[in-house]
Amino acid sequence: MTTSPLHLSLVTPVGRLVLESTGDELTGIWLPNDLRDVPTAATATPPVLREAATQLEEYFAGDRTEFDVPMDLAGTPFQKEVWAELSRIPYGQAISYGELARRVGRPTGPRAVGQANGKNPIPIIVPCHRVVAGNGMGGYAGGLPVKQALLRIEGAVA
């Protein structure tokens, strides 16, 4: 496994994404509002970044509803529990923060669940955009226009 992160820039219908890996696993996706420059290095792009890019392109084309990219989600045990539950939300469906809190056994903790949701390092693939506020869209680390576009792509009604 490589120690310094490797990156791949991908132009998508929601803007430029930057995929990150430290070797054999995807470790991050930077959304368009998280403006970072992709370091230009002479290193070859690792297969996991090429595979993640291919799967994301298929998703945006409407040809993929699930992802199977190896990932390394760095976070607290609680965050990882929330992110695992996000991955169980079916394509094309949206749930509330309150429902997500109930699903992880914290029915009085939708705010804490929302904060963990916002720290998701691999958005889209770990579908944090599928969680909405009970009274509307709610927030999104990538910005509401990106969240709305992702939900539209999936045909989900918030």
Catalytic residues: 128
Stated as kind and residue range, the H or E segment containing 132 is strand 131-132
Q: Where are the alpha helices (DSSP H) in the chain?
A: 47-60, 77-86, 97-103, 110-118, 144-154
Closest Cα partner for 58 from 122, 105, 13, 8? 13
Backbone CA torsion sign across 34, 103, 132, 98: negative
CA 149 vs. chain centroid, Å, equals: 14
